[in-house]
Structure 1
Amino acid sequence: MKTLFVAPTRNGVGLSSTALGLARSLERQGVRVAFLKPIAQTHEAGTDDSVHFARTLLHTHTPDPVPLSVAEDLLSQGQIEQLMEDVITLARQVVAGTGSGAEVLVAEGLALSDRNVYAGTLNAALARNLEAEVVLVSSLTGMTAATLADELEIAAQAYRRSDGSGLAGYLLNFAPRDLDFGGLMAELRTRSRVLASGEIPLLGVVAQNAALSEVRTLDVARHLGAEVLHEGDAALRRVTGTVVTGRAVRNMAHLLTPGALVVTSGDREDVVMAASLAHLSGVPLAGLLFTSNSEPEESIERLCRAALTSSLPVLKVPTNSYLTASQLSRLGGRVPHDDLERMERTLDYIADRVDVVPLGTRLRADTSGTERRLPPSAFRYELIQKARAANKRIVLPEGDEPRTVRAAIRCAEKGIARCVLLASPERVRFIAEGQGLTLPDGLEIIDPEGIRARYVEPLVELRKSKGLTAPMAEAQLEDNVVLGTLMLALGEVDGLVSGAVHTTANTVRPALQLIKTAPGSKIVSSVFFMLMPEQVLVYGDAAINPNPNAEELADIAIQSAGSAAAFGITPRIAMLSYSTGESGAGEDVEKVKAATALVHERRPDLMVDGPLQYDAASVASVGLQKAPGSPVAGRATVFIFPDLNTGNTTYKAVQRSAGVVAVGPMLQGLRKPVNDLSRGALVDDIVYTIALTAIQATQQPG
């Protein structure tokens, strides 16, 4: 396993987020990554920040680091070799704990500070003892090209091995938005031999992004030790700016924007009422913070109660407005352990700007010739990239549903798909403004009231064999799902996503009537992409068919294998049952046996085995014991459940109990792509389903 040691060149370079972002970038390339923080960064009790986020967001088997107090004691006693032995033991635990054959270990060094003057020398020793290639991290904050060149030269000398190896590349953080990149690189190469020679390649330049520093109202309350008068959405709302009220409302009302934290004394009734009115008008303020232990008097509180007792966080502190603002300015950039959303966005932002291609020659020896296990981050990344390349037009019948509006905006901004919202444009604008969002120019909104009439005749023509009349067609087209499905049938859009407020039957029934099954498909089924900690698995069918017979089960298996392959997952199909091989008998087991035989007969190119119990299919040691010689046991990537009861229960149990993201259900077997959402779908779920649909549209020309 190759080790990359991420080391800072000076203080304040954003070391932890960069190390984790590098790990995510490697994962996106299909590289199996492990993470290690050899020595704790601080003396604080509890889990180290990097270790916590590696476990929760990268899902790595990361051991606790050597406590900083222990490391300092060993260093003070001259026992650096003992410290290195302890670190090597941790590295071996990482390798043993992964269980999946990690190819790259990303190890994060100690961040430099005034407190740990020994950190630079210790980092060099750690890199050497871990036999690591070093990735240097520097910052462009307040740096000239000359200073940066000297800094990188000194660091290169510290980490270069005697044979000249040891340097994998360098990353530059906190670049100003107006950076003259070409000029900077030209001057660096002029001043630095190590950069001019190409010995240490540039792996990325990460620009400053104020949005990544936005704290939650909850973090403000913790930092100030504030009394929480009303919690509201304190754990969800983020502070984009602070409004300290010293002026009349007419002079500061324009500052009451989404994310504003209003700091005021409770006796400023005009400010309290203005903030309350802004909140009730749909402006998602970060919160209302009363200073000097003050609160609004009773009549004002009663007048504003609808706002002060809803989702608007309301806090109180004993300090005056000036001291409170001063304390707020000292709120650090450290991400709290429970703010996973912020760190997730930070890692994605860094990973988007890291280029691991220059590391290829160092990593290729470890990754070539092996079957790829697609990790969740790589799956999501490739999903978005493929959807962008597809550039498909996807209709969303639930066009004024708030989550759907937000998802459509995100898809437009990221170029994931050309979404079409079926809804009143005025209603969509109202929904967007209420969430503090702006509708992008590229987002298409079609008022169904203005177009229904022209679809009556095409619907009658499609359903004339069923005796459909014009009045009946008009009535059916009142349902936006039917309208959107007809648009898809006529080729006006490339796919449809619905289900945020509709049932599966409401979404699937019009598709079966108007879209029909694809050539060669006898059944419509579904799969979920289960984003397990180490790889993505495919579960089918967990949403559509209650009790498929053997022939239908075989069709589901073949369809699911095709879906897996289409999204970069090597299909190894496990036909699941309560029995493995010949160990059990019964009608249900015989059905799975017959279905397995049919898959072998119809698609001899596919790796399939069954009946297999879930543990025999998924756990290597159990598979070796229960089904020795099986090409699937212990290595399955596609799990075919014998009935809907089993499939739906299992996917939800795994999703909820293990905290696994389930993308889908994605429907299979239709002539054109129609996909259903869970009514509890999050915005991200909708975005990924839209991306899935766009990619399907490239595979189903209709």
Structure 2
Amino acid sequence: MKIKSLYISAGEKNVGALFVSMGMMEVLKRNLHRVAFFRPIILSKNIRDKDIDFILEKYELDVDYEDAYGFDIDYVESMIASKRTDELINELIEKFKKLEESYDFVLCEGIRRAFLTSTIDYDLNMLLAQNFGSSIINIINAKDKSVQDIYENILIERENLLSHECSHFATFVNRFDEKNYLELKEKLKDDDSNIYILKEIKELDIPTIEDVVEVLDAKMKLCFENCNTRVVRGFKIAAHGVDNFLNCMEEDDLIIVPADRSDIILGIIGAFYSKEFPKISAILLVSKMELHPNIQKIISGLKNYNIPILSVPTDSYQSAKNLSRIYSKLRVSSERKIALALGLFNSSVDVKAIEERIQTQQSEVMTPMMFEYKLFEKARQNRKKIVLPESLDERILRAVEIILRRDVADIVLLGDKEEIKESYQRFGLDLGKATIVDPNKSDLMEKFTDAFYEMRKEKGLSYQNAKDAMIHGNYFATMMVHLGYADGMVSGAIHSTADTIRPALQIIKTIPEVSLVSSLFFMCLKTKVLVYGDCALNQNPNADELAQIALSCARTALAFGIEPKVAMLSYSTGESGSGEDVDKVKEATKIVKSLRPDLEIEGPIQYDAAIDKEVAMIKLPNSKVAGEASVFIFPDLNTGNNTYKAVQRSSGAIAIGPVLQGLKKPVNDLSRGCSVADIVNTILITAIQAGQK
């Protein structure tokens, strides 16, 4: 029987139920279109459940909040106390089945047993899972427990499941001390199937500035983009003179200081800009005082000032006391923690085995979220090293942290090591796992110069010019890819497209069967992903070039899980029109058919006939491509560029690209207006391209 739901059961508070729910939702959303989230029991119907809000928003689930839960604890306990348990179970089953009938899959997260009163002497989660027909995922808290205690808990949970005749899907041992890993694995050697051990990551428990603001009800006096996500590892009260206090500061400290201590505040600011002192997270002003106007003037005149300033009405002592109550909360905006958590989940769990065990029917629907999840998974399966020459751009650094925390690729940043480190620390980022290479100090500089000179000397390149070229980050990075020191390169957030592609054409060159580099966009519509080529590079390709673009796009589409059905676009469909432009498309289509007779291709064809089945039935009723095209080849840059932007604007489609194709090794170009998400996707695509034969 195919599994249509899973039930996550946790016995204790802070065991990581939301973390496991998030990891499982990633797996489900990667494979299914309509997934629901359901909590049979919540704490109170008068207070919004944080886990439900998180999952619904994070994964953009098409589920109303009221449909995502059953009843609150008061109602459940009153029903049980009045011996109406069967009636309660039936009511919950009815709510659950409504979701199950409307969605491809339902992920349930149970109530912590510890939240229920001691009068309930049986496992309500087990009973609900049994009646829902759900397989159970149980979570065991390993924090501060011995290996023997954990092992015994696993055995007890297993016996409990057997006694209730419940279907066991997996056991997660969460918050495990890594140094005891081998000892536990030894105890489980005879039967460790479907048991996943997740190590304790302390940073997930470290609060952020957003947590401080929420708990203290603090006001943000000065805030910068993403400053709320900065971690707060500790706090210090500025009680000493500035000379001594600076020695007390530690990395990511929150400094509690009255606003009239201008000496301390100026000292903190000076230390922040110095390489000799740790970078603090924020300044907390206390006792309702305001900064002196001259101090405000100094701050407003500083270039790249980056220290958030908060204020609270309480004094230093009370503020410190309040801070001691702060705990870390996972929010949808906590991108850094989410990336870290998902990196841990995917490195610790056999995701492929879980997907196989779920055995759900595969849907033809492909949402943008599903496609992006697949990019992460493909990159993770064949990990590659990507070099980024634009290492001081904030967007690049933020994208790199996500890639590193998701643990899907290795990253090389080019530039001065101290300058890069200073830059990412100023933004509150952790890029310690990235490799930093300074071309000016690298032993590779001479080797790269020699290699480039040998390549281009017959074209008149002097040795000095070759050396000058290698100083440029794009040339150095391209040579790293060419000689195998990296698997791919991404540039263009700052540089022009020409600056990115020129070194690649001079050094890497195209694959033997392709004479030109072309581009495509992955157009992520609401329920499908299409390929558009070439909308970014070649202005007016001839028939041979158009055929090459089509073949390259078909290969790329297949490599990314899209079955290529190629539409060679024109203002004419079939034999309905004539003219030079139509003849070009006809000739290109013939060339493709001669080279790839197995490829489904139609041309010339108009856009509406290629994408709309009803129009296709009228214009080309016997075509295997019309109405079902997945790869759209535009006859020129003007048509392609305007079309993809119009579709993006009118339908809300997400355009991922441009993706360059035809090079022997992958180099990809970013638009200078790109977002962090665009950069993340481009790095993933480059890594996937590098892993293809």
Q: 2:345 corresponds to which letter in structure 1? A: I
Aligned to 1:564: 557
* 1:218 alignment partner, SS class: helix
Instruction: Tell me the residue number matched to 1:98.
Output: none
Cα deviation for residue 204 of structure 1 reads 1.4
Shift of 1:603: 0.9
**1:12-411 mapped onto 2 (5 Å cutoff):** 12-25=14-27, 34-39=35-40, 41-43=42-44, 48-64=49-65, 65-67=67-69, 69=71, 73=75, 76=78, 78=84, 79-80=87-88, 81-95=90-104, 105-114=106-115, 121-144=123-146, 148=150, 151-152=153-154, 155-156=157-158, 159-160=161-162, 164=165, 166-178=167-179, 180-184=180-184, 198=191, 201-233=193-225, 234-281=227-274, 285-304=280-299, 306=301, 310-356=305-351, 359=354, 362-364=357-359, 366=360, 375-388=371-384, 396-398=388-390, 401=393
Describe the SS at the equivalent of 1:135: strand
Q: CA deviation at 1:555?
A: 1.6
**Secondary structure, counterpart of 2:290 in structure 1:** coil
Q: Cα distance 1:615–1:119, how it changes in 2: closer, same or farther (>3 A)? A: farther
Find the counterpart in structure 2 of residue 100 from structure 1.
none
SS of equivalent to 1:10: coil
Distance 1:43-1:492 versus aligned 2 partners, 3 A rule: closer
Question: Which piece of structure 1 moves more, 116-125 or 540-549?
Answer: 116-125
> Relative to structure 2, which stretch is displaced further, 602-611 or 687-696?
687-696
Structure 2: distance between partners of 1:73 and 1:55: 24
Q: Deviations over 1:489-516 (max 9, x none)?
A: 6778765432121111222234334544
TM-aligned CA distance change 1:565 to 1:475, over 3 Å: same
DSSP 3-state at the match of 2:550: helix
Alignment of 1:651-670 (within 5 A): 651=644, 663-670=656-663
Which of 666, 678, 686 is 2:671 aligned to?
678
AA aligned to 1:554 is A
**CA distance in 1 between partners of 2:41 and 2:617 (Å):** 39
Instruction: Mark the CA change 1:404 to 1:149 in structure 2 (over 3 Å): closer, same or farther.
Output: closer
Change (3 A) 1:359 1:609: same
**Does the Cα contact within 8 Å between 1:542 and 1:647 map onto a contact in 2?**
yes
Distance 1:613 1:177 in 2: 59
Q: CA deviation at 1:362?
A: 3.6
Could you tell me how far apart the structure 1 residues matched to 2:450 and 2:154 are? 71
Equivalent residues of 1:24, 1:348 under 8 A apart:
no
Q: State the secondary structure of the residue aligned to 2:538.
A: coil
Q: Provide the residue aligned with 1:192 in structure 2.
A: none
Distance in 1 (alpha carbons) for counterparts of 2:601 and 2:463: 49
Deviation string 1:347-368 (CA, Å, 9 cap, x unpaired) is 343233223466477435x469
Q: CA deviation at 1:321?
A: 1.9
Report if the CA contact (8 A) 1:500-1:680 is conserved. Answer: yes
How many residue pairs align between the two structures?
674
* Deviation digits for residues 106-127 of structure 1 (CA, Å, limit 9, x no counterpart): 3322334435776975433432
Point out where structure 2 has 5 or more consecutive residues left out of the alignment: none
- Structure 1 residue identity aligned to 2:183: G
- Aligned partner of 2:521 in structure 1 is 528
SS at match of 2:494: coil
Question: How big is each residue's C-alpha offset from its partner over 1:400-453, in whole Å with a ceiling of 9 and x where there is no partner?
Answer: 5565567778889969357372x4556555545655667669543221899888
Distance 1:688 1:385, change over 3 A: farther
Counterpart of 1:605?
Answer: 598
Q: Is the contact between residue 240 and residue 259 of structure 1 (CA under 8 Å) also seen in structure 2?
A: yes
- Give the whole-Å Cα distance in 2 for the aligned partners of 1:291 and 1:411: 38
Instruction: Measure how far apart 1:184 and its partner are.
Output: 3.7
Q: TM-score, normalized by length of structure 1?
A: 0.79
Equivalent AA in structure 1 for residue 9 of structure 2 = A
Contact residue 170 and residue 196 of structure 2 kept, 8 A: no
> 1:499 is matched with which residue: 483, 492, 496?
492
Maintained 8 Å contact 1:9/1:155: no
Alpha-carbon spacing, 1:353–1:543, altered in 2? closer, same or farther (3 Å): same
Contact kept? 1:281, 1:434, Cα under 8 Å: no
The farther-off stretch of 67-76 and 242-251 is: 67-76
Q: Distance in 1 between matches of 2:630 and 2:343?
A: 26
Question: Which amino acid is 1:6 matched to?
Answer: I
Change in Cα spacing, 1:40 to 1:492, as seen in structure 2 (3 Å) is closer
Between the aligned partners of 1:584 and 1:22, the Cα distance in structure 2 is 51
Distance 1:221 1:50, change over 3 A: closer
Q: What SS is found at the alignment partner of 1:527?
A: strand
* Cα distance in 1, alignment partners of residues 40 and 575 from structure 2: 50
Using the TM superposition, name which of 345-354 and 298-307 deviates more.
Answer: 298-307
Q: Distance in 1 between matches of 2:185 and 2:692?
A: 43
**2:13 partner amino acid:** N
Tell me which of 538, 544, 556 is aligned to 1:545: 538
AA at the equivalent of 1:290: L
Say which SS state the counterpart of residue 232 (structure 1) adopts. coil
Q: Is the 8 A contact 1:616 1:626 kept in 2?
A: yes
Partner of 1:11: 13
Q: Answer yes or no: is the 8 Å Cα contact 2:169–2:194 preserved in 1.
A: no
Using the aligned pairs only, state the percent identity.
30
* Correspondences of 1:575-614 after superposition (within 5 Å): 575=567, 577=569, 585=577, 595-609=588-602
Distance 1:530 1:346, change over 3 A: farther
Instruction: State the secondary structure of the residue aligned to 2:376.
Output: helix
Q: For residue 512 of structure 1, what is the aligned residue in structure 2? A: 505
| Counterpart amino acid of residue 34 in structure 1 | V
Q: For residue 532 of structure 1, report the CA deviation from its aligned partner.
A: 6.6
Change (3 A) 1:586 1:133: farther
Q: Which deviates further from its counterpart, 528-537 or 11-20?
A: 528-537
TM-score, structure 2 as length reference: 0.80
SS of 1:39 mapped into structure 2:
strand
Q: Match of 2:168, as an amino acid?
A: L
Residues 652 and 237 of structure 1, relative CA distance in 2, 3 Å threshold: farther
Q: Give the CA deviation at 1:266.
A: 2.1
- CA 1:461 to 1:353, structure 2 compared with 1: closer, same or farther past 3 Å? closer
Aligned equivalents of 2:647 and 2:344: distance in 1?
29
Task: Write out aligned runs for 1:418-433 (5 A).
Answer: 419=412, 421=414, 423-424=415-416, 427-428=419-420, 431=423
Give 3-state SS (helix, strand or coil) of 1:517's partner: coil
Name the CA distance, whole Å, in 2 between partners of 1:232 and 1:399: 20
Are residues 269 and 465 of structure 1, via their aligned partners in 2, closer, same or farther at CA, if it must alter by over 3 Å?
closer
Looking at structure 2, the residues matched to 360 and 482 of structure 1 have their Cα atoms a distance apart, in angstroms, of: 42
Amino acid at match of 2:284: L
